[in-house]
Amino acid sequence: MLCVRPGIALDESTAETAESQEVSEQQAETVLDPFADALARLISGSMKEREQASEQLSVTGHPEALPVLEALLDGRLYALRDKQTAVIATESGQGYRIAEASTGADLGLIERSDLSKVNITNSLRTKLRKKISLLQLQSDDASVRLSAVNAMVKTADAKTLELLKEYESTESDEDVLSSMRLIFALNDLQNNDKSVRLDAMDTLKEYNSLEAYNRLSVLVEKDSAGNFIEQDVEVRKKAQSALKKIEARLQFYNSVETMFFGLSLGAVLVLAAIGLAITFGVMGVINMAHGELMMLGAYTTYVMQQIMPNHIGLSVILAIPAAFMISALVGVAIERGIIRFLYGRPLETLLATFGISLFLQQTVRSIFSPLNRSVTTPEWMSGSWQINDFLSLTWNRFYIVLFCLLVFAALLQILKKTRLGLEVRAVAQNRNMAKAMGIPTARVDAMTFGLGSGIAGVAGVALSQITNVGPNLGQSYIVDSFMVVVFGGVGNLWGTLVAGFSLGIANKMLEPHAGAVLAKILVLVFIILFIQKRPRGLFPQKGRAAEA
């Protein structure tokens, strides 16, 4: 007979009980923390499990649920390879900066090879957008709630409409309520009750909404046989009336947008021409290498970004003085080495500066290759200001207009308030008298040419944000620059400003009707005819400056 000591049996029984109790506690903990359970299944489960896990996450009420779902949608949710921990990763210059998904705690930098991306299907991506919008509706920030409601305009279903009606009673922000009413009105267009549809049209005609415009347009469409699809005459007339009102506002906002594009083009023309207004307008030097000096400024921006890849915004700011100095030094070297021997000989000056432009282009090709270089736009210049569905203004062009005005104001102050400005104006008005009064005209010529060249370099920094940087960048603007200077009045900075903005707006206003090429030709023909009538431009020099 086999005998077992009671003590041993008791120890084994106690161990088994303790183990089962520990497992039960772990299971209970998992059940009590549905967020952790959903997160674990999200990074390690199948596609079907990920869909279920995302659904579970959206109803947990956990503060990190929304950031996790947004990261999953944007492709920023990863799992660490060595341990199954969910992290949200953001690409950095030296790797990926990660934060723990469950807490948001920063975990520092990590190599891409140590991360495993959590992939999703297009079907899940569509569902995620809806879940994220519903979660954002619970935010305390009105702008977040407004963004969530706007995201539902095209995709709202019956369930979404029910939720929105629940939130409507507690919503206090007028903009959010207005967007909710837009969704309700769009849904009412499909109602079987005619009076409800007519009321919906009365509501929709007051909105600047492309979705409202498209839905109303469907009501006045015809089939292949030429018959109206919508049979009710009163509904069709109401829809046509609403469309006319929306179209009037649409045309107005299109005109505003065209005007803005014209201002931004004008700002580019002013920046390109303002340096030439000094070298050509004040000194009388036809500098065909002016475009290449802008190109040097653009390449300076590119080099600064290569030096500071992790600080794109700062690199653009620092590129402004750097581009000014480099282009100014090159300009002074050109003036001292070549142009000072050619004063009073415009044809030789033109040919010499044209040769310099070819030399600078080939130098850049040898250093950077003939291929265009892409300059990254800083985050604060990216995107656009979405005023409504009909009007959107890009930030990079807005900043270029502002930058143009700042450069113009700074240049005016230099010419009016500094000793250099006084000497420049004196030499421009009467070189011999200025020399007799002790002004070093040779040094003033070099500094003036350097100032104009430096401004061209600064213009290159702005151009790098709206076009590719390449050896031929300057050639696109040299003719336009001369047009602006001559049209505005040679030697008049205010004339350059007005002429640049006028030509930019005129060009953009003509483009929708005549096309880009013909619009430019028409502007050129206009300038030729204008110069025949007023050879001195819009703002001719007066007094001693005109007699010089």
What's the pLDDT tens digit per position in 427-453?
777 778 888 888 887 888 888 889 989
Q: Report the run of H or E that residue 40 belongs to, with start and end.
A: helix 34-44
**Which segment, 31-35, 231-235, 342-346, 409-413, is predicted with the most confidence on average?**
409-413
Average pLDDT over residues 396-420: 90
Evaluate if residue 278 carries a pLDDT over 50: yes
Beta bridge partners, 386, equal 392
> Which domains occur in the chain, in start order?
19-123 (no CATH), 140-231 (no CATH), 252-381+392-547 (1.10.3470)
The residue to which tokens 């007519």 are assigned? 198
**Rounded distance, CA 78 to CA 101, Å?**
9
Tokens of 193: 């009750």
Place of tokens 């065909």: 288
- Distance, in Å, from the CA atom of 32 to the CA atom of 43, rounded to the nearest integer, reads 20
Question: What ranges in 155-311 are assigned the alpha helix state H?
Answer: 158-168, 174-188, 194-204, 210-218, 233-276, 290-307
Please determine, for residue 26, whether its predicted confidence score (pLDDT) is greater than 70: no
Q: Is the pLDDT of residue 423 over 60?
A: yes
Q: Write down the pLDDT at residue 544.
A: 54
Lowest mean pLDDT among 5-9, 38-42, 117-121, 422-426: 5-9
352-361, 366-375, 513-522: which is most confident? 352-361
d(CA 353, CA 269): 21
Tens of pLDDT, residues 171-195: 888 888 888 888 888 888 888 888 8
Residue 441 near residue 434, CB atoms below 8 Å: yes
pLDDT-based confidence at 405, cuts 50/70/90? very high
Q: What is the mean pLDDT of residues 275-290?
A: 81
**Banded model confidence at residue 543, pLDDT cuts 50, 70, 90:** low
Quick one: tokens of 511? 């483009």
Give the pLDDT confidence of 149-170 residue by residue, as tens digits.
Answer: 888 888 777 777 887 888 888 8
Tokens 């799992």 appear where? 79
> Is 271 a residue whose pLDDT tops 50?
yes
Q: Would you say residue 27 has pLDDT above 50? A: no
Whether 32 shows a pLDDT value over 50: the answer reads: no
The per-residue b/e assignment along 434-470, b for 16 or more CB within 10 angstroms, e otherwise, is beeeebeeeebbbbbbbbbbbbbbbbbbbbbbbeebb
* Res. 535: pLDDT tops 60: yes
pLDDT for residue 484 is more than 50? yes
Question: C-alpha dihedral over 198, 201, 206, 211, to 10 degrees?
Answer: 160
> What is the distance between the alpha carbons of residues 213 and 433, in angstroms, rounded to a whole number?
69
- Reported pTM: 0.74
Structure-token pair, residue 384: 């656009």
Mean pLDDT of the 76-99 span: 77
For residue 254, pLDDT beyond 50: yes
Is pLDDT above 70 for 120? yes
DSSP at 466 = T
Query: Is residue 20 over pLDDT 60?
Result: no
* Section 85-97 average pLDDT: 78
In the block, residue with structure tokens 């206009």: 526
Alpha-carbon dihedral sign for residues 62, 67, 69, 72:
negative
Query: Cβ(202)–Cβ(182) under 8 Å?
Result: no
pLDDT at 138: 75
Report whether pLDDT(82) > 70: no
Q: Which residues of 231-270 are buried (b: 16+ CB within 10 A; e: fewer)?
A: eeeebbebbeebbeebeebbeebeeebeebbbbbbbbbbb
Structure token pair of residue 59? 């109803």
Residue 186 near residue 212, CB atoms below 8 Å: yes
Of all residues in the chain, what percent carry a pLDDT higher than 90? 19
Average pLDDT of the chain is: 83
* Range in 78-82, 299-303, 329-333, 351-355 the model is least confident about: 78-82
pLDDT, position 340? 85
- The terminus-to-terminus CA distance of the chain in angstroms comes to 132
Question: Residue 541 has what pLDDT?
Answer: 66
Q: Which residues contact 520 (CB under 8 A, 6 or more apart)?
A: 507
Q: Could you tell me the two tokens for 46?
A: 């199948």
pLDDT in tens, 43-62: 777 788 888 888 887 777 78
Residue 259's pLDDT band, with cuts at 50, 70 and 90, is very high
